[in-house]
Structures are given as C-alpha cells and as structure tokens.
Amino acid sequence: MAGEHIARLHRYYVEGKLKILVGAGISMAADFPSWDGLNLALLRASLDKDPPERLDPLDPSDHRAQSEHRLSQLVDSLYGALGREAAADFVWQNEDPGRGGDFFRLFAKALYGGRSIPDLPIPDVTCQLAAMAARAGVYTTNYDPLLELGMARLYEVGAPHKHWQKFRGGPESVSGPRVRHVHGWVDPDGHWGGTFVLAESHYIALQTTTGAAPNRDLSEILDGEGAVLIVGMSLSDPNLRRLLYQRGLSPFAIAPTYAIIKKTDHEKTDEYRQSYWRLRKTTIISIDTHESLLPVLRDIQFGASTRDERPIWLPAASAAVRDHDPFSNDWQRAAWGTLRGLRDLITKKGRHPTSEVVQLSLFRVIGDASEIQRIGSTRPQTASTGVEAAEQATRRRLSVRIGQEQGVAGNSFAKGLKQESFTPQGLNLRFTDQMVQDWETDFESLVAVPIHAAVLHGGERAWLPVGVVVATSSIKTADRTRDGRSAPSGPCWHESAEVLALLRGLGERLLLGNS
C-alpha cells in the first residue's frame, strides 16, 4: 500500500503539483532540540537572568553548583505547572520584544545552543528536500535555516554558509527554489522575521484571525491544487490540526494530504492512527525509523525501482564521479596515505586506542552497473599501483540491486543511510560462499557511511549517494550496563558524531575532490 502512495506522490512531483510541509523532526538530525527541549531551554534562559535565590556572598563554597541545582528545580516545577506552550508564553510576556524585551536573543540561545551558522551540520535529508524544491513548493514551521543551507549546498559553488540567505522566501514572488517559513524565522544572532508563532497566545490569536499570514500559508498549502506531503512532524501542531479538521468537514477539499510518520511499537496503534487521520483526509505513510525518510523522499523524486532492478537514480549518481579516475598511481598513493592517516587518528579517539584494530575501505558506484566497487583500502602494507587497484576492484564488488544489496556497504549505499553491524550474520549480508572466502573477515564490527554528491540530472539538481566509506573494528559491540545504557566500550565510531563526520569528509575529498 505504501508503494502505491509513493507512486502517486512521484506523479504529483513530476507534474509540479506537490507541496511539502517540513517540521522540527528534520532539524533534530542536526542536533537541534526537541519541542520540549526548546521550551525548557527558553524558560531556563529567562529565569537565569533572575536566579530563584541569592546565596550568601560570604560563603562562596560551591555557589555555582547550588545555584544550578535550584534553577533546575524551578525550571522543572514551573514547566510542569504551566505546560509547554504556556511556558513559552510566560517567557514571551516577561521578555516582550514589543516593549524592548530580550525574547529573540534568549530564543536564539535556546534554539542554537551557542552555534553560529558555520557550525551547523547540513543533514543529507535537508539536501534531499532542497533538491525537490525545484518542482515542489517547500514550506516549514521550523525557525532555523537548515533547508536554505541545503539549497545553498546544491546550487552554490563554495561554502554554503555564505550563500544560504538568498534561498529564504519572503512575501514577494521570486523565481527559483525558496523556503517559506510559515511560523517565522530566527537566526543565531537573534535576528528574526516573518510572523513568529511559538507561544500559546500566538496559537489562540490564529484561531480568531483567519487572515493572518500563517493561516494564509497553510490554507495555500492544504487547499490548493495538487498533493501535500508533511514530513518531520508528529501532526501535533494545534493550528495545523485545526485546519486539517476544518478541511475534513469541507466537501470541496479534494487535494490529497500525506504525512510520513515513524511507526509506533504497537501495530494496532498504527491502524487506529491511520483511521483517525483518514477522517481528516490525510493518509499516513509509516516508516520504520526516522532516518528511513531519506530514501522514501528519493523514491518520490525519482520513482521507486521494483525488486531486483537497479535504483532508477544510479546512472545519474555514476555521472558525478565519472571524471575522477581512482586507478592512477598518484591517486592510489594519495588515497592510501590519507586512509591510513585517518585510520590512525580515529583509533586514537576511540575507547581502546592501544588494542583496537581498525581498517578503512572506500567504495564507489560503477558506471552503469548495478554494483559498487572497492577502490581503496588501508590493508595493503604499501600503496597499490593503479593496475593493481583496478584488478582488486573487479574482485571486490557488491550488488546494490533493490532487495539484493550485498553486505552492509551495499545496503548503506542503496539507502543512502549510515549502517552498522555487530553480528556475524549482518557483516556478510547476501554474500555468496565464494565471497565469504575471498573477502577479509578478520573483524567483529563494521560501519558504512554513505557519501552523497550534488548531481545535475535532467536539468535539475539531485542529492545522490556516490560511494561508501567502510570502517571495520576488532571490537565487537558496546557493552550494556544493567540499566540499559552504554558502558565505555565499543568501536571507535560508535556514538561518535565527530568520527562519523571525519569518515564522511574523507570520502568526499577522495571521491569528489572536495577540500
């Protein structure tokens, strides 16, 4: 059933009749706070300006710890007493920007945690959404510029952090891909714009002011021609729920609305949720994990391949690396040295720097074939020649056909998602007996990190996997304590955003020549 919905959405996309509404779940991939986390941090930032109790200045012992503890207690208590939206309202009233208050500086502090624009990572899913903006209108209830950064990464040469502002949509009609911020926007320096919607009073005002800009924007999305796709939202936004309810009552609302939402832990709950939203003329497309949104969006853009076929987008991905020859002597020497240098660096950053054995490999897509091939590795004691590397690459290939992906690396490439394996069965997924014999298996765990590139396809930009960096480790898995939390164990990359970013950066440099 989900396949039928994705096929319909693909047709709407191709016809230029798809609108996408993006929620906070997308930003959480870049370590932005959850909705509760944002409001708690905002409340804390406001109360911190006037601490709950003054400590004795003649007794300086542990003042900071005591103050922090008392402030935390007050924040938790007041948040529970007021509720989430009312807590934001409390800060809005205390820091009213209309009376010269400091609300937006405090909000930026709570939202960005001290990060500036160049500090923000650009998740692959935001680049995928940016790639769809050429045909589909992109709207968001988020306050951050991640979608603009994704567009800048696709369309601009050089650092996207210098060009993102040109992709922020305003009230005027401008050609080209733009992001419309339905609830306003706030930058790290506290600069803001649009109609800001956050607090309870803002939502109450929207109920009585039908002509307000956020209502007009959402009505334009929901009542226009074509289909609506909602991503990164739990459908809990009160204004969106109100408009979907009203739309459900209207006999004239014919445009289909879809929402991609993660499954719950209970199948019957998912069935009831489907039934509930069907009454609001909204179809739920369930995914197993939040990360699964990325390949679903890619299928909506390109169309989904059937089982045993190669991904439809594979020829376009191969074009991105076609001009980079990995089988020259110079490239092999440079790649071998770079891979070995990073291997040693990330091993030192791990929990077992003296005993962990780490090896790195680099794969890339092959022309019009349905495979990826290994073009570099840290295993040889010296750098391979170009001829030797080409011969090895013919023997180290992995299928990426739909439903036939081989190994963790093949699966990671086909989905465009980071994949880990800590089980013997997962390490050699769909390997033939001969492959198990031929490939090195002297490791206990593995991570595959896909490398994406901006690709020009049919006159439009796309964000596609072009290769995979693989790290193997002699450490089997992270131990678990009795309360279920990770003990200080596991391979060097496990739960380390820094190491994963280093692996991704290395792949981009070697495959694409990026600095």
pLDDT digits over 364-377, tens only?
A: 998 778 999 999 99
Give the pLDDT band of residue 453 (cuts 50, 70, 90).
Answer: very high
pLDDT in tens, 379-406: 999 999 999 999 999 999 999 999 999 9
What six digits make up the tokens of 313? 């987008």
Please answer whether residues 44 and 74 qualify as being in contact, where contact means their C-beta atoms are separated by less than 8 angstroms: no
Q: What is the pLDDT of residue 462?
A: 95
Lowest pLDDT segment from 164-178, 283-297, 441-455: 164-178
Q: What is the pLDDT of residue 67?
A: 76
CA distance 328 to 342: 21
Give the pLDDT band of residue 476 (cuts 50, 70, 90).
Answer: confident
Please answer whether residues 222 and 243 qualify as being in contact, where contact means their C-beta atoms are separated by less than 8 angstroms: yes
Q: Among 479, 475, 455, which Cα is nearest to 465's? A: 455
Give the pLDDT band of residue 460 (cuts 50, 70, 90).
Answer: confident
The answer to whether residue 487 scores a pLDDT higher than 60 is no
- The phi-psi region of residue 452 (left if phi > 0; otherwise alpha if psi is between -120 and 50; otherwise beta) is beta
CB contact set of 31 (below 8 Å; sequence gap of 6+): 121, 497
CA distance 364 to 393: 10
Give the pLDDT mean for 474-484. Answer: 65
- How many other CB atoms sit within 10 Å of the CB of residue 220? 14
Please answer whether residues 26 and 126 qualify as being in contact, where contact means their C-beta atoms are separated by less than 8 angstroms: yes
- How many other CB atoms sit within 10 Å of the CB of residue 136? 23
Please answer whether residues 313 and 131 qualify as being in contact, where contact means their C-beta atoms are separated by less than 8 angstroms: no
Give the pLDDT mean for 456-460. Answer: 84
- Helix/strand/coil percentages in the chain, nearest 5: 45, 15, 40
Looking at every residue in the chain, the average pLDDT score rounds to 89
Give the alpha-carbon dihedral of 489, 493, 498, 499, to 10 degrees: 140
Q: Among 225, 205, 216, 221, which Cα is nearest to 92's? A: 205
Q: Among 315, 385, 396, which Cα is nearest to 361's? A: 396
Q: Which of 41-55, 89-103, 241-255, 457-471 has the highest mean pLDDT?
A: 457-471
Give the pLDDT mean for 46-60. Answer: 63
The answer to whether residue 60 scores a pLDDT higher than 60 is no
The answer to whether residue 434 scores a pLDDT higher than 60 is yes
- pLDDT above 90 covers a percentage of the chain that reads 64
What six digits make up the tokens of 319? 């074009």
**Selected residue with higher pLDDT from 225 and 137:** 137
CA distance 321 to 362: 13
Q: What is the pLDDT of residue 55?
A: 47
Give the pLDDT mean for 272-278. Answer: 92
Q: Are strands 227-231 and 419-421 parallel, antiparallel or unpaired?
A: unpaired
What's the number of CA atoms in the CB half-sphere (13 Å) around residue 50?
Answer: 6
CA distance 56 to 271: 59
